[in-house]
């Protein structure tokens, strides 16, 4: 275990909170959701991801890192060493075996394993794993093929502003366009975003051998990610039974057999919306459509939910 990890962290009932990257889209949403959910803060400090952030946040009890990967890698060890409990929303620590990667509805028990640092997943992974984990317990997932349609805000403020006439951070102009590339492409043609989706899904579901393939597409939408999902199961599962399972799962809203949610239905709420649920040619094939607010449940709300479970009870 790294020397800077803490053996035990005790959080007070009204902690002093710092948000590093408070002016980012996710940072702003964190502040909004902390207030909305009445998180019991003694104080909230809003910080930029610049070099002064570690010193300024070191006396906080709780730190949300809504900052770039390079910032999270540099600052998280310093903050944990100073005694802070840190939740990182970047990809910096998500695959570190010593750092719990958590979606509370899926693997909330992993929170107790933390040593001062926890990671919140990629905004496309949250709705996907919530849907897969809530399938009936008796079925086993053999294969997942997912195509994501990711809003411009997933690339931060620059992505959002590119649809409002700003300089585009994307490899092509996104306005009136679809770009089948989120993040850099590797030598094998797989993007870094697709690699993250696969690796994080396997970790969150404790399924290291899961056969999963992803294609991530950037779409000219401001907020709200959508996913088209194909699942092959070991045993047959009627689409109606899948809907029943999702109806009882926390955080999920499922639609009728011929109904479906649009992106506008998910913006501003924390639900994972599932529709167009149907069987494939074989009864062990399930197809469905997901939409989720990428800034809320995909990022900020998930991090706040993790924090809520860390509060003393």
- Active-site amino acid positions: 123, 225
- Pairing mode, strands 272-279 and 225-233: unpaired
Query: What are the E-state strand segments in 4-50?
Result: 16-20, 43-47
Q: Are 229 and 197 in contact (CB under 8 A)?
A: no
Per-residue b/e over 30-48, b at no fewer than 16 CB within 10 Å?
bbebbeeeebebeebbbbb
Element (H, E) at 170: none
**What SS3 state is found at 152?**
helix
DSSP letters along 240-254, please? HHHHHHHHTSTTEEE
Q: How many CB atoms lie within 10 A of CB 231?
A: 23
Q: How many CB atoms lie within 10 A of CB 5?
A: 16
Q: Are 246 and 252 in contact (CB under 8 A)?
A: yes
Q: Are 232 and 285 in contact (CB under 8 A)?
A: yes
- Pairing mode, strands 252-254 and 225-233: unpaired
Per-residue b/e over 66-94, b at no fewer than 16 CB within 10 Å?
bbbeebbebbbbbbbbbebbbbbbbbbbb
């Amino acid at each position: 275990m790294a020397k800077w990890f803490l053996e035990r962290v005790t959080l007070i009932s009204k902690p002093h909170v710092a948000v590093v990257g408070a002016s980012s889209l996710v940072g702003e949403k964190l502040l909004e959701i902390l207030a909305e959910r009445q998180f019991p803060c003694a104080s909230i400090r809003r910080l930029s991801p610049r070099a002064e952030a570690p010193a300024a946040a070191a006396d906080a009890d709780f730190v949300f890192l809504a900052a770039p990967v390079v910032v999270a890698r540099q600052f998280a060890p310093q903050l944990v060493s100073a005694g802070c409990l840190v939740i990182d929303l970047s990809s910096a620590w998500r695959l570190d075996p010593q750092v719990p990667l958590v979606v509370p509805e899926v693997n909330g028990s992993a929170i107790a394993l933390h040593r001062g640092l926890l990671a919140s997943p990629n905004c496309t992974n949250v709705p996907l794993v919530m849907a897969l984990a809530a399938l009936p317990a008796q079925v086993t997932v053999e294969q997942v093929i997912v195509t994501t349609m990711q809003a411009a805000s997933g690339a931060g403020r620059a992505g959002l502003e590119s649809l409002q006439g700003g300089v585009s951070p994307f490899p092509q102009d996104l306005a009136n366009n679809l770009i089948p590339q989120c993040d850099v492409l590797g030598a094998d043609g797989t993007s870094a975003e697709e690699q993250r989706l696969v690796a994080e899904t396997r970790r969150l579901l404790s399924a290291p051998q899961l056969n999963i393939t992803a294609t991530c597409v950037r779409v000219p939408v401001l907020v709200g990610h959508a996913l088209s999902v194909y699942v092959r199961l070991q045993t047959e599962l009627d689409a109606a039974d899948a809907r029943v399972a999702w109806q009882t799962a926390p955080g999920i809203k499922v639609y009728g057999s011929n109904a479906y949610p649009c992106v506008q239905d998910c913006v501003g709420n924390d639900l994972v919306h599932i529709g167009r649920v149907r069987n494939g040619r074989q009864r062990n094939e399930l197809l469905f459509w997901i939409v989720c607010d990428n800034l809320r449940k995909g990022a900020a709300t998930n991090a706040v939910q993790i924090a809520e479970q860390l509060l003393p009870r």
